[in-house]
Copies of this chain bind each other. A is one copy, B any other.
Amino acid sequence: MSIQRGLAADIGGTNTRLALVENGRVLENTIARFRNADFETPEAAIGTYLSEAGRPACASAVIAIAAPIDGPAIRMTNHPWTFSADCIGKVLGGANITFLNDFEALAYSLDKVPTERLQPVYEPSLKLRSNATRLVVGAGTGFNAAALFQTPTGFHVGTGECGHSTLPVETEDELRLWNYLALNRGRASVERALSGSGLKEIHEWYCLEQGLSPRDLSPADIAERANSGSDPLCVSAARQWVTFLGRVIGDLSLVFLSLGGIVLTGGVTRSLARFLAEPEFINAFCAKGRQQKLVSGIPVHLLDDDFAALAGCASRM
């Protein structure tokens, strides 16, 4: 049997992950991660990776990008890089280039991820429906989600830009926070809260609410202080963040009817994993009125695999 070699790439708002693929499978020992900030263009990052890998021949490349895939030229939402199949094809010696949305790639990977990479966050007593729609949701630099539908002829992924839909608030406190997040922007999207910069701004707002000057803490600092319980303002910010996350994924599970389960991913979600076990998260997730029973039956897992999207790319090669 001839070996089909290709390149898989997952280009997020902060990092680019790359791997070589053989016959639809990622070669684990070829996985690499680069910081986007270290390169002027995606071609430069891919070119450096290929040089370091000994310039392997690649017949095709599947590239997942944190951007809406619409036409031959793609512009990222949270990063200045732009993409064209022509420019990237040149670096790859004329390989056939396919662009996927990064969440499309993640959704395709759901079928490949080993069970031990899925940490239970919420496990209802109901039996998981193996043929039902599954949803992957991520919060990191930005926020997005994708649904993996099972059709009679295979999988289909539905995805879009749900991080830009309206951030849902339910209380006066939350509306004040919404207005803070909306400053100079006209509105607050889901992503304005459910991202690293969102966690930072939620923390700033809690400082201001206490009459304090906002402290310059990074999302990682806030998560660390919240996890240790040492800093009440960071704990409040983390609790509010997971409240929004629970509410939004409950809403998305209704929109997509993802009775096959929800898989959470993204660096900020992982950094606040401890708070996903607290009542704020599950209560907000399940509080869906007459559909509470439906949503309460949906299991939630945390994906412990930073390179899952590469497997999704490989499956589409």
Binding site for B on A (CB under 8 A): 68, 70, 77, 133, 145, 147, 149, 151, 153-154, 156, 158-162, 164-170, 172, 175, 178, 185-187, 189, 247, 250-259, 287-291, 294
Contacts and interface: CB of A to CB of B under 8 A. Distances in A.
Nearest to A247: B166
Given A166-B170, A187-B170, A254 B161 contact: yes
A287 B166 CA distance: 10
Nearest to A170: B187
Contacts of A186: 287, 289
A160 B260 CA distance: 13
A187 B284 CA distance: 11
Contacts of A167: 168
25 contacts: A68-B257, A68-B294, A70-B259, A149-B149, A149-B156, A156-B156, A158-B256, A159-B257, A160-B256, A160-B258, A161-B254, A161-B255, A161-B291, A162-B254, A164-B254, A164-B288, A165-B168, A165-B255, A166-B168, A167-B168, A170-B178, A187-B287, A187-B288, A187-B289, A189-B289
A259 B251 CA distance: 22
A13 to B, nearest CB: 13
A154 B258 CA distance: 21
Contacts of A159: 257
A116 to B, nearest CB: 29
* Most chain B beta-carbon contacts within 10 A, residue among A164, A187, A247: A164
A169 B175 contact: yes
A316 to B, nearest CB: 11
Contacts of A175: 169, 172, 175
Contacts of A145: 255
A185 B251 contact: no
B158 A158 contact: yes
Most chain B CB atoms below 10 A, which of A147, A186, A256? A256
A301 to B, nearest CB: 20
A228 B147 CA distance: 44
Nearest to A163: B254
From A77, A153, A251, residue with most partner B Cβ within 10 Å: A251
Given A149-B156, A154-B153, A255 B70 contact: no
